[in-house]
Structure 1
Amino acid sequence: MKAQESHSTLYQDIYNLVQQARVHVAQSANKTLTLLYWQIGSRINKELPKGARATYGKQIVSQLATQLQEQFGKRGFQERNIRRMMQFALLFPDSEIVSRAATQLSWSHFIELISVKDELQREFYVTLAINQHWGRDTLRNSIDSMLYERSLISGKPDKHIKKELAGMRAGETFSPDVIFKSPYFLDFTGLKGMYSEKSLEDSLLISLEQFIMELGIGFAFVERQKRMIIDGEDFYLDLLFYHRTLQRLIAIELKLGKFKAAYKGQMELYLRWLDKNEKQQGEETPLGLILCAEGGHEQIELLQLEQAGIKVAEYLTELPDKKILQQKLHNELALRKQMQQHENED
C-alpha cells in the first residue's frame, strides 16, 4: 500500500514538473514569436520612408510575403500579417516595453491592440489585460464596448491616469475608478419601454453571470435585498457585491429615471451600516454604486459624491446605433473631463 502511495506521489510530482515546463515553453515561444514580429515590422519600417509606404511599400511588402511564405510556409507571413507587424512596431516603438508585455500577452492580444489608435487608451488596455489576465476575446470585447471611454478614470487628467496605470503595473494601487464605469450595458435583460425597479433587479439576477461580466472581473455576488435594521426600521439594499481586488463590499442601488440628490443620503446610510456591521477585518471601507437611467451631472458635481465613496452611473437596457452610442460616450467623457477640471479649480 505504501509503495503504491509512494509511486502515486512520484508520478504526481513528475506530472507537475512536465506541466510547468510545458507552460514555460509555451510562454517562451510566445514571447520569442511576438518579438520576432516586432523586429520584422521595425526593420521594414526603417527601410520604407513614410511617403513610400502607400505605393512603393505595397510592392515591397507583397514581394516579402511571397518570399517568406516560400521559405517558411504561409502561416504568419501573409501580406496582411506583415502589415500588422509594421503597425505593431509603429504603435509600440519601445522594444523593452514589448518584451515585458510579451511575457503575458500573446500576438493575438497585440493584433487587437493595434486597432486602438490613442496611446493612453492602448496603455489602459495593455495594463488591464495583464493585470486581470484577460484572454484575447475579453480584450476584444472590452475594446469593442469602449470600456476606456466608459471607465470613470477616463474623465481624470491624463497625468493622473498614467500614474494610476503605473501603480497597477507595479502592484501598488488599484483605483476604483478603473473598476467603475458609465454607462453600464444591460441590454441582456431584454427590458424595453416601461418597467419597474423590481423587474430590473429580477432580470439582472436571472442573468447574473452576464451582469457580473458587465460589472467587471473581481465582482462576487453576496446578497439581494440586504436587510438592515436601523432604529427599529427595516431598510433594504438592492444588491450587495464584494470586489476581491479592492477588498471591499460594493453596495448597488437600482433607480429608474434621473438621479436625485436624495439618493446620496440613502446610500450613505447603507454604507455606514455596512461599514459598522458587515466589514471584516482587513477589508477597506464599502463603496456605493447608484445605477440610474439618466445621470444628473450638476447635482453629482455639487454633492461631491466622490468624498462619500459613492459612484453614480447610467445604464442602458437598449443599445442605440453604434455611431450614436459612440457620440454619446464621447460627449459623456468630455463632460466628465469638464467636471474634473472644475473640481481641480476649486
Structure 2
Amino acid sequence: MNLENLVHLLAQTHQSLHQRASRAVDFALVVRNWLFGYYIVESEQQGEDRAQYGQRLLDGLSRQLRAAGIPGCSVSNLKNFRRFYEAYPQIRQTLSGELMSAAVSPLSIGQQLAGATGLELLAEQFRVSWSHYQVLMGLKDAEERRFYEIESVSNGWNVRELERQIASALYERLALSRDRDAVRRLSAEGQVLKTPCDAVKDPYVLEFLGLEERPAYSESELEAAIIDKLEHFLLELGKGFLFEARQKRFSFEEDHFYVDLVFYNRLLRCYVLLDLKLDKLTHQDLGQMQMYVNFFDRHVKTESENPTIGIVLCKRKKDALIELTLPKNANIFASQYQLYLPSKEELRQQLEDATFPLADNGLES
C-alpha cells in the first residue's frame, strides 16, 4: 500500500468514526436533557405552589449546576428540558414496567435509565438530534409532532429542512386529501406511498423559487425557475421522485406534443407527468393531460410498471369541474400552487371542515 492510499484509508476511517462519535454524543445529549426534564417535573410536582417552587427550583439548579461545571444549564435551557419531557411523556409509559414502575423512586428510575439497559431502551425512542427536538417541541399537536419526527428520520431532513416543511404546513396539506383514518395513519406511520393519491399534495408550496406574486409570468418562466431549484422542488414533491425530462416531446400523426416536466416515482414505480398552468384550470387542460397519460401508458411504460400519474399544477381550480370532467378511476389530479408559505390556521380550518363534518353537525362526539 503506497502512502497516498494509506492516507486515504486513514482519512476515511477518521471521518466514519468521527461521524459515529458525533451521533453518539448528540444522542447522549438528548437522553440527558429528557432525564433532566423528568427530574425537574417530578421535583416540581412535590412542591405546594408549583409556579413559585418551580421558578425557585430552576434558579437554584442553574446556579449550582453551572458552578459544578455542567454546561448548557441556564434557566432557559432547564425550562426547555422540562418542555421536552412534557412533550414526550409517553416515553416513560413505553419503557418496561419494571424500569418505570410507580413504586420506584424517581432517583432510582433515573439511575436505571442511565445504565446500559436503560440507554438501549431509550435508543429506541429518540431518533433525531436535540436540535430537531427543539423545533418539534414548538408543535402543540402530538400527532403532528410525531409525523414530522418520522419524516425527519425517513427522509434524512436536517433542521433547516424540517423547519421549512413545518412552515409549509406539510402535515395539513397531506391530511387535506385524506379521510379520517388516513389522517391518523399519517401521525403513526408518516407519509406512505401506496396509491397515486398518496403522492399528490394540494396545494404545492413553491416559495423557494423566490418569485414575487405578479400576473406577468409565463409558464416557461415558472418552469425555468423550477428547474433552477430542482432539488428544492423534488423535496416539495415528496418521497421517491426522480427527475427525467423537461419539455418531453412525443409525436403521433405528424403532430408534436410537449409535457412540461416528467418525473418517475421509484416507490410507486410509475411515471408522473406535470403540466404547469398559470391561471384557472379548464376542462381542456384536463383533457390534454389525459392524452399525455394515455400516450405514456400505451407507448412508454413497460408491462411491469404501474399506470402513469398526471398532475396539472394550476393557480386556481374548481373541484366541481374536475369531478365532471374526469372519470372516478382516472390517475389525473389537479393541484394548486402558491408562491408563498400558507397560513397554517386556514389549512387547519379546511382540514377540520373536510375531515370532521359529522362532529360539526352534532352527529358525532
Normalising by structure 2, we get a TM-score of: 0.76
| 1:124/1:249 CA distance change after superposition, 3 Å | same
Aligned to 1:80: 76
Structure 1 distance, partners of 2:128, 2:299, is 42
The aligned amino acid for 1:298 is: A
Structure 2 distance, partners of 1:264, 1:98, is 51
Per-residue deviation, 1:258: 2.8
2:343 equivalent to 1:330: no
| 1:287/1:340 CA distance change after superposition, 3 Å | farther
Alignment of 1:238-317 (within 5 A): 238-279=260-301, 283-301=305-323, 307-317=329-339
| 1:66/1:218 CA distance change after superposition, 3 Å | farther
Structure 2 distance, partners of 1:108, 1:305, is 47
CA shift digits 1:301-346 (9 cap, x unpaired):
56677732223211123x38x7xx33432344345437999xxxxx
2:111 equivalent to 1:115: no
Segments of structure 1 that go 5 or more residues without pairing to the other structure are 342-346
Structure 2 distance, partners of 1:340, 1:233, is 51
The aligned amino acid for 2:19 is: V
The aligned amino acid for 2:164 is: N
The aligned amino acid for 1:264 is: L
Structure 1 distance, partners of 2:303, 2:15, is 37
Structure 1 distance, partners of 2:358, 2:289, is 22
Equivalent residues of 2:147, 2:188 under 8 A apart: no
The aligned amino acid for 2:21 is: V
The aligned amino acid for 1:204 is: I
Aligned counterpart for 2:34 among listed residues 33, 38, 61: 38
Per-residue deviation, 1:70: 1.5
The aligned amino acid for 2:321 is: Q
Aligned to 1:69: 66
| 1:291/1:159 CA distance change after superposition, 3 Å | same
For these two proteins, the number of residue pairs brought into alignment is: 328
RMSD, aligned α-carbons: 3.4
| 1:306/1:91 CA distance change after superposition, 3 Å | farther
Structure 2 distance, partners of 1:335, 1:306, is 23
The aligned amino acid for 1:99 is: A
CA shift digits 1:213-272 (9 cap, x unpaired):
443465433222221223443222121123344443221111233333443332222123
CA shift digits 1:30-49 (9 cap, x unpaired):
22211111111122112223
The aligned amino acid for 1:326 is: K
| 1:145/1:304 CA distance change after superposition, 3 Å | same
Percent identity (aligned): 27
Alignment of 1:153-302 (within 5 A): 153-163=175-185, 166=188, 179-187=199-207, 188-216=210-238, 218-279=240-301, 283-301=305-323
2:153 equivalent to 1:130: yes
Structure 2 distance, partners of 1:298, 1:235, is 28
- Determine which structure has the larger helix proportion and give its number: 1
| 1:263/1:165 CA distance change after superposition, 3 Å | farther
Structure 2 distance, partners of 1:280, 1:189, is 38
User: Which is worse superposed, 56-65 or 14-23?
Assistant: 14-23
Equivalent residues of 1:218, 1:244 under 8 A apart: yes
Aligned to 1:344: none
Structure 1 distance, partners of 2:358, 2:292, is 26
2:123 equivalent to 1:99: yes
Equivalent residues of 2:274, 2:311 under 8 A apart: yes
Structure 2 distance, partners of 1:129, 1:251, is 27
| 1:14/1:210 CA distance change after superposition, 3 Å | closer
The runs of at least 4 aligned residues of structure 1 exceeding 6 Å deviation read: 338-341
Structure 1 distance, partners of 2:132, 2:281, is 38
| 1:65/1:297 CA distance change after superposition, 3 Å | farther
Aligned counterpart for 1:140 among listed residues 159, 163, 168: 163
Structure 2 distance, partners of 1:331, 1:295, is 19
| 1:9/1:59 CA distance change after superposition, 3 Å | same
Segments of structure 2 that go 5 or more residues without pairing to the other structure are 96-120, 360-365
| 1:196/1:127 CA distance change after superposition, 3 Å | same
Per-residue deviation, 1:72: 2.8
The aligned amino acid for 1:310 is: I
CA shift digits 1:35-78 (9 cap, x unpaired):
111111122112223995433212212221222122134x3212
Aligned to 1:19: 15
Structure 2 distance, partners of 1:53, 1:122, is 27
Structure 2 distance, partners of 1:21, 1:206, is 36
SS at match of 1:42: helix
Structure 1 distance, partners of 2:357, 2:227, is 33
